[in-house]
Chain A
Amino acid sequence: KAGVTQTPRYLIKTRGQQVTLSCSPISGHRSVSWYQQTPGQGLQFLFEYFSETQRNKGNFPGRFSGRQFSNSRSEMNVSTLELGDSALYLCASSVGTATYEQYFGPGTRLTVT
């Protein structure tokens, strides 16, 4: 069974630009969650989607948004990038909601210059 895939793996953007990251969950998984990982703040929950609906959202500004498609694939978007948005963005999928066992992808390393 294929694991969670994230594209792109690495990305360099300039302040003020926007970026879209993609996540393909494990086949049959309906929940996709997004996390931001930085050395200073650790792993922080961004949002969770289940059956195309945002089920929960962490404490991030509105510049961070996401969506889920009917095939469970998900995208997250960050607009008006700031230097502090440089981080590893991880996607995780699970059969049910994110309270269940989650399978993480390798992440997208975003660098904002």
Chain B
Amino acid sequence: LAKITQPISMDSYEGQEVNITCSHNNIATNDYITWYQQFPSQGPRFIIQGYKTKVTNEVASLFIPADRKSSTLSLPRVSLSDTAVYYCLVAYGSSNTGKLIFGQGTTLQVKP
């Protein structure tokens, strides 16, 4: 049974790097891992996606170790506006019909 776990909450200060780890069992070679950010009263917003090694875009990096049982979202130099809930999503069975499973979300509080 697929299960995804994330820390419930994290605190950080402005300017620091924040790393949020998601644990996902039974993940297959081509199953994608996607991270979303959600603010109150809004739908989730795409941050980054990958399925192996490291992916980087203008706002974040995603690290996936060789065993792929976890992944880490890295937010460099966070600001107050990064205070939000962050969700890890795994598309199990991406090569065929996939079950899309979200983690419970990590509430990130950025302090001044």
Residues from chain B with Cβ under 8 Å of A45 in the complex: 99-102
B43 touches A56 (CB 8 A): no
B104 to chain A: closest residue by CB = A42
Q: Give the distance in Å from the alpha carbon of A101 to the alpha carbon of B94 in the complex.
A: 13
A60 to chain B, nearest CB (A): 12
A85 to chain B, nearest CB (A): 19
Residues from chain A with Cβ under 8 Å of B42 in the complex: 106
**10 nearest interchain CB pairs?**
A104-B43, A43-B102, A99-B91, A45-B100, A56-B97, A99-B94, A101-B46, A42-B104, A104-B44, A99-B32
Q: Is the interface of B mostly helix, strand, loop or mixed?
A: strand
Residues from chain B with Cβ under 8 Å of A105 in the complex: 43
Residues from chain B with Cβ under 8 Å of A33 in the complex: 100
Most chain B CB within 10 A, of A4, A43, A48, A90, is at A43
Q: How many residues of B contact A (CB 8 A)?
A: 22
Known contacts A56-B99, A99-B91; A92 and B104 CB within 8 A of each other: no
Q: Give the distance in Å from the alpha carbon of A100 to the alpha carbon of B32 in the complex.
A: 8
Q: Is the interface of A mostly helix, strand, loop or mixed?
A: strand
Given B44, B46, B99, which contacts A43 in the complex, CB threshold below 8 Å? B44
A101 to chain B: closest residue by CB = B46
Residues 21-47 of B contacting A (Cβ, < 8 Å): 32, 34, 36, 41-46
Most chain B CB within 10 A, of A4, A43, A92, A99, is at A99
Residues 94-112 of B contacting A (Cβ, < 8 Å): 94, 97-105
Known contacts A99-B32, A103-B46, A105-B43; A42 and B105 CB within 8 A of each other: yes
